[in-house]
Amino acid sequence: MNNYVLIYVSICLSVLLNANLTARTVNECRNTQHKGFLVSTEELTRISEMASKKIKPHYTNVNSFLTYINNLIAQTKEWTELSGEIVIRSGSSSDPIQLSSDGGKLVYGAAIAWHLTNDAKYAELTKKLILDLTDTYGYSNKDWNKIHEGAQGILNLACGATPYIFAADLLEDWEGWSEYDKIIFQKWLRDTVYPRVAWSSRTRKNNWGVAGSFSAAAIAYYLMDQPNWKLEEFNPYVVKLSPQEAFNVHNYYQIKRQSTADDWKMDAKTFIWGIQPNGAIPEEIRRGSDPVNGDYLASEGGWDQIYYDLY
């Protein structure tokens, strides 16, 4: 698998702000340097150096990658800008488009492009995309005013906001990304995203729970330079956790979600749950037409559905 494919896969893998930020709060933000969630800055630097020397496949891969990102940038002219309360009006994972697959690829891809080219326009775009989210809030479904297992906005935040963390992490060494900018983004993650995805992590057995646990842990990790902050959860428990505590808890939920034990049934909708000895995941198989306790997937449709869900 060449480096372009690896970069492309890393992109696909996938705000209420307290305006009274004080100088003291900003100064307390430690300059913890992260190595990158999916790809490190050191790796990107090596790829960039080899591409600049026209060493293949890196030269071809980087050019193809930049063409892809530039095409995505062109598409953003048709995107509706986000601001204020966001109401999800459909069951689509592309609502709003900024949290869609394309939105995640763009923000993370632009951050990668910045390291590959040293062209500040990509860093500026990444910053804009990130900060554009930070005055948004809500993300409830139309006609639903509380956290609800059918609230598409929770899943969209869990899947769609995480690439923005990856992207922000890659801006750490850029002089245009200030500690103030970082704190604005961190506060949005803490106050708007975390309570919702943490609920999904603690209650859901299926892909919602998987996305919620990963997102909650990623947020906690990104907030490690704010050890005195508290991450609040309101459902199913009222609890306040430090970033380290939240990181530990939701990683634990991610691991235990695989369990077939009775005390880890969570909200499973079938008579078996967890990852079975043959590798079957009943909570995903139930979305198709195959029996959840079968030895294999009999129908092509069943496999397509599971592939779609896991992707």
pLDDT in tens, the chain (311 residues): 444 333 333 433 332 223 233 333 333 334 444 568 889 999 999 999 999 999 999 999 999 999 999 999 999 888 888 888 888 877 777 788 899 999 999 999 999 999 999 999 999 999 999 999 999 988 877 766 555 555 788 889 999 999 999 999 999 989 999 999 999 999 999 999 999 999 999 988 888 889 999 999 999 999 999 999 999 998 888 999 999 999 999 999 999 888 788 877 777 677 776 777 777 777 777 777 777 777 767 766 544 444 444 44
Indicate the SS3 state at residue 86.
Answer: strand
What's the whole-model pTM score? 0.81
> Which of 168, 175, 173 is closest to 193 using CA atoms?
168
- Tell me which DSSP letter residue 274 carries: S
According to DSSP, residue 170 is labeled: H
Rounded to whole angstroms, how far apart are CA atoms 28 and 46? 33
Q: What is the C-alpha radius of gyration for the chain, rounded to an integer number of angstroms?
A: 20
Torsion sign (Cα): 164, 169, 174, 179: positive
